[in-house]
Structure 1
Amino acid sequence: MVFLDKLFSEFASFVWGLPLLILLTGGGLYLLAFSKFLPFRFIDHAIQVLRGKYDDPNDPGEISHFQALTTALSATVGMGNIAGVAVAIAIGGPGAVFWMWISAIIGMATKFFTSSLAVMYRGKDSAGQIQGGPMYFIMEGLGKKWKPLAVMFSVCGLVGALPIFNVNQLTQAINDILLAPNQIEVGFTSSLIIGLILVSITSVVILGGIDRISKTASKLVPAMVGLYFVLVLIILVIHIQDVPKYIGLIFSNAFTAQNFKGDNFLGGALGGLILLGIRRAAFSNEAGIGTAPMAHGAAKTAEPIREGLVAMLGPAIDTLLVCTLTALAILVTGVWQTSDANGVSLTASAFNHAIPGIGNYLLLLCIFVFSISSLFSYSYYGSKCMSFLFGADKKHYYNYAYIASIILGATTSLNMMINLIDGFFALMAIPTMLATLLLAPRVLKRVKLYVATLK
């Protein structure tokens, strides 16, 4: 068991290492330059599409542009934004946030291309239903000889979409913030009860399919992002005199690596800081991994570029907005320098410091909803991979395994399984990015046609 634990830990570290970061970041930079910064030139138009200005009920697909974006966001807005940012600051200081921003800007271009392709090259499952996602745009766009790449994505997706890590962290947050401070015994029984509650909530939603998942996400995600924004705004108002100083530190420390405590990379602390920020952002917004295109591929639209423009807003909301809110809350309260806590506990310390008594509980509410909404989306992603590999009539079996893994995640500390899942999740990026880079010229041709119709 110790051998396997070490093996899977090294596997996850290797997969999330330099080659993957070069593929995600280098590939994203290429797409950004190749498109001549298109995502930023069409932000206003993207917002109009998101608001429903171009919706047509007769278009192919299952859900609206807004529902597709909130479904994708429900998977990315979660522990990566609340715990992941805290990890980045604890190791790298304020400068890590700057490199998370850079990664998000690059990720906007990646999301535009991958989600445009998800609609451009939609395929049909064994039941004849239109489907989108990397496995389908690989097959439809590159041809059947590329099927091994599509199969690789789907196999990795079966494992990578399991919710063990997310549930484990949510259970830990409930135990640490709610139960332990109120002298409620924390152990197997309390974790099992939490797991059963999560199973009950998740089952009701995911067994209803993408329609119910998207409708639930479209209500939960905007409400919780709004609440989180208000809470951090309160913290920033309380510490308003410190805000300019820390915004300045985010920029200045990004190039000095003054507070960096991690391992050096490419011969120095600055390289380590850049690597840290990019990796944390990749975990947070998942640009290039290939999960979000599965949600955007279900959008009710006949125009791929519209959905790509909507999708590119995801990293902006996820990293540039929500991650920045978390970072500022941690920085201005000073807990990043006075507390030994890390991850979600450090974020909780910031909220408790600024809003004593109820700050922890309000944060826990946000964590709970963000994590629950992630559970809904990942079940959909995993069942789509199951459907592609074994047929649409078999996809419901994935939900049963998915629900069982919630109990597993809540009641055990499975570092071995968590590393295994993280590794497979990262491997999904290889077929996604390779296919996207190969098909990028076709997306730009479609962009020219779309711009011409707008004019």
Structure 2
Amino acid sequence: MPLLSAISAIDSALANFASFVWGAPLLVLLVGGGLALLVVSRGRPYRHLGHSVALLRGHYDNSDDPGQVPHSQALSTALSGTLGLGNIAGVALAISTGGPGAIFWMWVTALVGVATKFYTASLAVMYRGRDAAGELQGGPMYVIREGLGRRWMPLALLFALAGLCGALPVFQANQAVQLLRESFALPLGWIGADSALAFNFSIGVVLAALTAVVIVGRIQRIGALAVRLVPAMVLFYLAMTFVVIGAFWQQVPAAFALIFSDAFSGQAVAGGALGTVIKIGISRGAFSNEAGIGTESMAHGAAKTNEPIREGVVAMVGPIVDTLVICTCTALVILLTGAWELSEGIEGVTLTAGAFSQVFGHWGPLLLLMMVVPLAFTTIVANWYYGVKCLNFLFNGVYQRYYTPVYLLLVVIGAVASLSAVNNIIIGMYAIMAVPTMTSTLLLAGRVNRAAKKYFEELAQTGKTQEKAGTAL
């Protein structure tokens, strides 16, 4: 009993910590800061979304440019850190704790997040720095050091420290194992309820071993894995959700009406706490698309390009795919099937699996499993990369040889840990990471605006020249 009391006290302390850091000041910084960036850019990023298609297709790739991976692999790596459990388990957690209205506030983070990602990714390339090994790196800590100067170093160190903790693999390991156990092993009778802990541990060890195989190849192998897995799994998941939405198509307008009405009433939360709905929606939205958090900037900072604005344009695709498309589909599946009302006490990925089972029967969780496990795995390996970059920035590469064994051990620990505990740790660290990321982005926004103005003017001029050449021919 003393052990149970200690675990309960830790869970309570972590919940209070997450609630405190996600207070009103941070919500204003993330959403208000994103709106400010949208205003000062005069909506320029949104007007050039089409340019991202050409960039992702490799039309502007140059193998001689500085960086480590092409635009498409940089975006896939960034998306691999957000797609999957952030959209499936994260949306389920948002609805189960904040009600349907939390989805509206997730949308808000995505709409302003398009502008935020344009700036953060552009800065990640514009102000790349050298690590202890002399390798070119990007990310908020380098943006602060190279763009704002040494006197801002405490802010850079704060990000790196929070990023080291926020990149822990515990949430992904926890939810992947939970889905595997409850939708596969238990129904088939492979394990009993009393052997769940041993099963979790065994799968955690397997996940850790597979992670070790991939991370040996560093960002190049991670990018190559992500660019293959992420698009395929996204299309597979969209096909699943479209089947469910099609089965309940007549109720779709009512589902959207519920999201909008609850977003401003908070009726689905005990006591009608509107502030709770907003807080949960924005925090889960930030966890989903990571706009303004800074982790994705580390992936975009590895892009092979000498034009920072190009990577900013590529990064804008992230919140659209991640939150506006995938999260919305997940939310509709949960709301249309009524799973959020019928599954009291069930949360996370299990709630989403229950929603799919309403249409696909016992195949629903298994189909979801086929999508979740690969994306959870790509997130785990992407987070290793983020953690290594933060560790090297803090300690100049001194302890890097110890990081990988510890990280692999945490994969196993995450598989057997409490969901509430790991969720509150990650959400809390994301809040702390947002402070240096958004502060530096707002301070350096003017430099991005000038670079963007020049880049898009030159792009327009190039287009006119090519058009004239084509006409002449």
1:334 aligned partner? 338
Per-residue CA deviation, residues 407-441 of structure 1 (Å, 9 max, x unaligned), is 11113338556544442332111111111111111
Contact 1:112 1:311 in 2 (8 A): yes
Letter in 2 for 1:299: A
1:61 and 2:70 are equivalent in the alignment: no
Q: Any gaps of 5 or more consecutive residues in structure 2?
A: 1-5, 461-473
CA–CA separation in structure 2 for the residues paired with 1:408 and 1:275: 28
1:314 aligned partner? 318
1:231 and 2:240 are equivalent in the alignment: yes
Deviation of 1:4 (Å): 4.6
1:380 and 2:367 are equivalent in the alignment: no
1:9 aligned partner? 15
1:280 aligned partner? 284
Letter in 2 for 1:189: A
Deviation of 1:182 (Å): 1.9
Deviates more, 1:44-53 or 1:392-401: 392-401
**Alignment equivalent of 1:260, drawn from 268, 273, 280:** 268
1:81 and 2:74 are equivalent in the alignment: no
1:407 aligned partner? 412
Deviation of 1:243 (Å): 2.3
2:140 aligned partner? 134
Q: Any gaps of 5 or more consecutive residues in structure 1?
A: none
Contact 2:23 2:279 in 1 (8 A): no
CA–CA separation in structure 2 for the residues paired with 1:412 and 1:99: 29
SS in 1 for 2:42: coil
Letter in 1 for 2:336: V
C-alpha RMSD over aligned residues: 1.9
Deviation of 1:62 (Å): 0.5
Alpha-carbon spacing, 1:65–1:364, altered in 2? closer, same or farther (3 Å): same
SS in 2 for 1:225: helix
Deviation of 1:256 (Å): 4.6
2:101 aligned partner? 95
**Alignment equivalent of 1:196, drawn from 193, 197, 205:** 205
TM-score (structure 1 length as normaliser): 0.94
1:430 and 2:435 are equivalent in the alignment: yes
Deviation of 1:43 (Å): 0.8
Deviation of 1:241 (Å): 2.2
Letter in 1 for 2:327: C
Contact 1:263 1:272 in 2 (8 A): no
CA–CA separation in structure 1 for the residues paired with 2:168 and 2:218: 17
**Alignment equivalent of 2:168, drawn from 162, 167, 192:** 162
SS in 1 for 2:50: helix
Number of residue pairs matched?
450
Deviates more, 1:283-292 or 1:342-351: 342-351
TM-score (structure 2 length as normaliser): 0.90
Per-residue CA deviation, residues 376-413 of structure 1 (Å, 9 max, x unaligned), is 10000000011112224643432221111111111333
1:41 aligned partner? 47
Displacement over 4 Å in runs of 4+ = 2-5, 414-418
**Alignment equivalent of 1:177, drawn from 177, 183, 193:** 183
Deviates more, 1:160-169 or 1:212-221: 160-169
Deviation of 1:8 (Å): 3.1
CA–CA separation in structure 2 for the residues paired with 1:43 and 1:345: 35
CA–CA separation in structure 2 for the residues paired with 1:379 and 1:4: 25
Per-residue CA deviation, residues 174-224 of structure 1 (Å, 9 max, x unaligned), is 221112222222422211210111011111111210000000011111111
Contact 1:115 1:308 in 2 (8 A): yes
1:209 and 2:215 are equivalent in the alignment: no
1:355 aligned partner? 360
CA–CA separation in structure 2 for the residues paired with 1:191 and 1:424: 25
Per-residue CA deviation, residues 242-290 of structure 1 (Å, 9 max, x unaligned), is 2233234333443454x422455xxxx4444333322221121111111
Deviation of 1:240 (Å): 2.2
1:453 aligned partner? 458
Deviates more, 1:195-204 or 1:387-396: 387-396
Alpha-carbon spacing, 1:351–1:135, altered in 2? closer, same or farther (3 Å): same
**Alignment equivalent of 2:111, drawn from 102, 105, 109:** 105
1:251 aligned partner? 260
SS in 1 for 2:81: helix
